Amino acid sequence: MDIVLVGLNHKTAPVDIRECFAFDSLEADAGLKELSRIPELTEAVLISTCNRVEVAAACQDPDEGVSAIKDFFSRTKSMPLENFEQNLFVYKGDEAVQHVFRVASSLDSMVLGEPQILGQMKESYRLATQAKTTGAVLNRLMHRCFMTAKRVRKETGIGDHAVSISYAAVELARKIFGELTDKKVLLIGAGEMAELAVEHLLNHRAAGVFVANRTFERAVSLAQRFRGTPIRLEEVEEHLKIADIIISSTGAPGYVLEKKDVKKVLRARKNRPLFFIDIAVPRDIDPAINNLSNNFVYDIDDLQGVIDRNIDERQKEAVRAERIVDENVIKYRTWLEGLDIVPTIVSLQKKLEAIRQTEMAKTLAHVSGLDENGKEAIDRLTQSIINKVMHDPIQFLKAGGHREKQKKEVLGFTRDIFNLNNSQNGDNFTPDEE
């Protein structure tokens, strides 16, 4: 049994290609049913997010498995293979396992360390188990990938340090104020990043929000969303006396707040810190405000600088994360190799037990006067003989008492001398848990 993985992601395919191969939940369910009908694949999981579409599969022949998955993509998305084959990546064996573990651990994400991918992987696995397209091989693979991702998150700092403008703003605010519990936020203008920053601040228990906008109706709408208070632009200067964090994101051609505006309220603020987050381009906040005592102005470039430094920190942590991934790839490979041996051991045990039962029945049919105690004694005797005879060969197979490259020959030889290929193959058995 081997594992293959075929897919495309943000590194190998532009968005106009990726969007052609996206699967929503209904399409994913249909896709899994289609995968289950492909004879070259014994198990499959379909992973589809905004940045990647991948199929991980268990198969007997890796080359046939890869071809079958490529054909699946082409057929289900009605696109000739030659139009997208150059965008595909293909992994086999350990590389496929390593890729799955790296994806779940957010080492392959567009934003290194982002946490959403693990939830998306779990949802993909849930759909696959619901469609019954997984078995012992991929069940173990996915459970180990979740465990690996959990270790990476717990033992490294790959998820620390803000890497988005909105989170970076919150991180800076916490450095200035410590706790944000009683801090008031003034939002000037609106924009996606500014609104996200307000949401994050409120999640960190900021005390309240004032919303000012060129269009007062828009201010009312946003204030309702944040359970805040709408104000007119003319009231901004007055609210500088009570606000602690100013987030500005207007489309104004010049400064919305200048140094002289802030200077007027310094006495009323009694030297309390005032933090300006200027997300607008052109800038809304006069950078000269930074020269006033306890006033801090960060524009979009300052925030991006914070993010760049944080990304460097995450990259350092990624080295430790890769080590955890590699360690778990080895553990999974060891388990998978054991899986090849189990059917042979089970078949051998079944065959010898069948022989024992048959010979016991023949013998007891010709023995008279034997009571139940006598029959049980013979049963235990024959069981003991079988167990002792089989002990060394089974231990040899389990312990890998042969070179890996000879494994197929050893298993084949064992099956040949005991004529196991015509016996029950023990497919319902899986190796012992680690």
Phi, psi of 86 (to 5 degrees): -70, -15
pLDDT value, residue 160: 78
The b/e string for 22-50 (b: 16+ C-beta within 10 A; e otherwise) is ebeeeebbebbeebbebebbbbbbbbbbe
Closest CA to 41 of 22, 26, 21, 62: 62
> 87 with 8: CB under 8 angstroms?
yes
pLDDT tens string 230-279: 999 999 999 999 999 999 988 888 899 999 999 999 999 998 999 999 98
pLDDT value, residue 400: 60
pLDDT value, residue 250: 86
Question: What count of other Cβ atoms lies within 10 Å of the Cβ of residue 343?
Answer: 21
pLDDT value, residue 162: 67
pLDDT value, residue 334: 83
The residue behind tokens 């707040």 is 257
pLDDT tens string 161-196: 767 777 788 888 888 888 888 899 899 987 777 787
Q: Which two tokens stand for residue 48?
A: 């589809």
One digit per residue, pLDDT tens: the chain, 434 residues? 899 999 999 999 988 899 899 898 889 999 999 999 999 999 999 999 888 999 999 999 999 999 999 999 999 999 999 999 999 999 999 999 999 999 999 999 887 888 889 999 999 999 999 999 999 899 999 999 999 999 999 999 888 776 777 778 888 888 888 888 889 989 998 777 778 778 888 887 788 889 998 889 988 988 888 888 999 999 999 999 999 999 998 888 889 999 999 999 999 999 899 999 998 888 999 999 999 999 999 988 888 888 888 888 888 899 999 999 999 999 998 888 777 777 788 888 888 999 999 999 998 888 888 888 888 999 999 999 999 988 888 888 776 655 555 666 777 788 788 888 765 444 433 434 33
Length of the chain: 434
Closest CA to 7 of 73, 82, 98: 73
CA dihedral in degrees (348, 350, 351, 355; nearest 10)? 140
CA 10 – CA 30 distance, rounded (Å): 24
> 339 with 1: CB under 8 angstroms?
yes
> Which residues are catalytic, by number?
50
pLDDT value, residue 403: 53
